[in-house]
A and B are shown apart, each in its own frame.
Chain A
Amino acid sequence: MRKILLESLLKGPLAEPSPGAEDPELLAFAAQVASAARAKLGRSLSIREIDAGSCNGCELEINALGNAFYDLERFGLRFVASPRHADILLVTGPVTKNMGEALLRTYQATPAPKWVVAAGACALDGGLFAGSYACLGGVAAAIPVDLYIPGCPPTPTALLEGLLALMG
Chain B
Amino acid sequence: MPALAEMIARGRLIEAHRPCPRIAVEEDLWRAFASMLAEGRATLLGLWGEAGAVHMGLLDEAESAACIVTRPCPEGHFPSVGRAHPPAIRLERTIRDLFGLEPRGLPDPRPWLDHGRWGLRHPLAIHPAPVSAPEPYPFLTSEGEGLHQIPVGPVHAGVIEPGHFRFTANGEAIVRLEERLGYAHKGVDSLTTGAPIERAARLAGRMSGDSTVAYALAFARAVEAALAIEIPPRAIWLRALMAELERLANHFGDIGAICNDVAFALMHAHCGVLRERVLRAAAASFGHRLMMDCIVPGGVGVDLAEGAAAPVRELLDVARGAFPALIELYDNTASLQDRTVGAGVLSMALARQYGCGGFIGRASGRNFDARRNLPYPPYDALAFEVPALSDGDVNARVWIRIREVEQSLSLVEQILDAMPEGPISVPLPANKSGEGMALVEGFRGDVLASVRLDAAGRVACSRLRDPSWFQWPLLEAAIEGNIVADFPLCNKSFNCSYSGHDL
Chain A complexes with chain B: yes
B182 contacts across to A, CB distance below 8 A: 98
**Is there contact, CB below 8 Å, between A56 and B497?**
yes
Given the known interface contacts A4-B270, A59-B159, the answer about A132 and B186 at a Cβ–Cβ threshold of 8 Å is yes
* A66 touches B (CB below 8 Å): yes
A55 contacts across to B, CB distance below 8 A: 206-209, 212, 499
* A53 touches B (CB below 8 Å): yes
A51 contacts across to B, CB distance below 8 A: 159-162, 184
* A67 touches B (CB below 8 Å): yes
Which residue of A has the minimal Cβ distance to B120? Answer: A133
Q: Mark A56-68, 1 if CB is under 8 A from B, else 0.
A: 1111111110111
* B269 touches A (CB below 8 Å): yes
B160 contacts across to A, CB distance below 8 A: 51, 59
B378 contacts across to A, CB distance below 8 A: none
**Is there contact, CB below 8 Å, between A61 and B289?**
yes
Cα–Cα distance between A3 and B333 once the two chains are bound (Å): 14
Q: How distant is A146 from chain B, measured CB to nearest CB, in Å? A: 19
Q: Which of A75-97 contact B (CB under 8 A)?
A: 79, 81-83, 93-94, 96-97
* B310 touches A (CB below 8 Å): no
B79 contacts across to A, CB distance below 8 A: none
* A39 touches B (CB below 8 Å): no
**Is there contact, CB below 8 Å, between A100 and B117?**
yes
Given the known interface contacts A69-B273, A81-B158, A134-B186, the answer about A60 and B290 at a Cβ–Cβ threshold of 8 Å is yes
Q: How distant is A60 from chain B, measured CB to nearest CB, in Å? A: 6
Cα–Cα distance between A19 and B327 once the two chains are bound (Å): 34
Cα–Cα distance between A153 and B185 once the two chains are bound (Å): 19
**Is there contact, CB below 8 Å, between A56 and B159?**
no
Q: How distant is A53 from chain B, measured CB to nearest CB, in Å? A: 5
Cα–Cα distance between A143 and B487 once the two chains are bound (Å): 32
B208 contacts across to A, CB distance below 8 A: 55-56
Q: Mark A119-156, 1 if CB is under 8 A from B, else 0.
A: 00000000011011111000000000000000011010
**Is there contact, CB below 8 Å, between B202 and A56?**
no
* A interface, over-half SS: mixed
**Is there contact, CB below 8 Å, between A133 and B187?**
yes
Q: How distant is A106 from chain B, measured CB to nearest CB, in Å? A: 5
Q: How distant is B384 from chain A, measured CB to nearest CB, in Å? A: 25
Q: Which of A10-60 contact B (CB under 8 A)?
A: 14, 49-60
Of B155, B279, B325, which is within 8 A of A3 by CB? B325
* A102 touches B (CB below 8 Å): yes
B118 contacts across to A, CB distance below 8 A: 97, 133-134
Which residue of B has the minimal Cβ distance to A7? Answer: B325
* B481 touches A (CB below 8 Å): no
Given the known interface contacts A96-B186, A106-B155, A134-B123, the answer about A52 and B209 at a Cβ–Cβ threshold of 8 Å is no
Which residue of A has the minimal Cβ distance to B503? Answer: A134
Cα–Cα distance between A100 and B188 once the two chains are bound (Å): 18
A interface residues, how many (CB within 8 angstroms):
49
Given the known interface contacts A63-B159, A132-B191, the answer about A93 and B184 at a Cβ–Cβ threshold of 8 Å is yes
**Is there contact, CB below 8 Å, between A102 and B162?**
yes
Given the known interface contacts A56-B499, A96-B184, A128-B203, the answer about A50 and B155 at a Cβ–Cβ threshold of 8 Å is yes
* A1 touches B (CB below 8 Å): yes
Q: How distant is A13 from chain B, measured CB to nearest CB, in Å? A: 11
**Is there contact, CB below 8 Å, between A131 and B333?**
no
Q: How distant is B280 from chain A, measured CB to nearest CB, in Å? A: 8
Q: Mark B284-318, 1 if CB is under 8 A from A, else 0.
A: 00000110100000000000000000000000000
Which residue of B has the minimal Cβ distance to A59? Answer: B159
Cα–Cα distance between A69 and B273 once the two chains are bound (Å): 7
Q: How distant is B169 from chain A, measured CB to nearest CB, in Å? A: 20
* B244 touches A (CB below 8 Å): no
Cα–Cα distance between A155 and B157 once the two chains are bound (Å): 23
Q: Which of B163-222 contact A (CB under 8 A)?
A: 182-188, 190-191, 199, 202-203, 206-210, 212
Cα–Cα distance between A106 and B183 once the two chains are bound (Å): 15
**Is there contact, CB below 8 Å, between B290 and A153?**
yes
* A5 touches B (CB below 8 Å): yes
B190 contacts across to A, CB distance below 8 A: 132-134
**Is there contact, CB below 8 Å, between B290 and A129?**
no
Cα–Cα distance between A59 and B186 once the two chains are bound (Å): 17
Cα–Cα distance between A135 and B191 once the two chains are bound (Å): 11
**Is there contact, CB below 8 Å, between B210 and A60?**
yes
B123 contacts across to A, CB distance below 8 A: 133-134
**Is there contact, CB below 8 Å, between A128 and B273?**
no
Shortest Cβ-Cβ A-B pairs, 6 listed: A57-B209, A134-B187, A81-B157, A132-B187, A67-B272, A55-B209
Q: List 30 A-B contacts (CB under 8 A).
A: A1-B329, A1-B332, A4-B270, A4-B326, A4-B329, A53-B162, A54-B184, A55-B207, A56-B498, A57-B206, A57-B290, A59-B160, A63-B159, A66-B272, A67-B269, A68-B276, A81-B157, A94-B186, A97-B117, A98-B182, A99-B184, A102-B155, A102-B162, A128-B191, A129-B186, A132-B188, A133-B187, A134-B190, A153-B290, A155-B289
Beyond A129-B191, A132-B190, 15 additional contacts (C-beta under 8 Å) are A5-B266, A54-B161, A55-B206, A55-B499, A61-B289, A62-B159, A64-B275, A68-B276, A69-B276, A98-B113, A98-B117, A98-B182, A98-B184, A132-B191, A134-B123
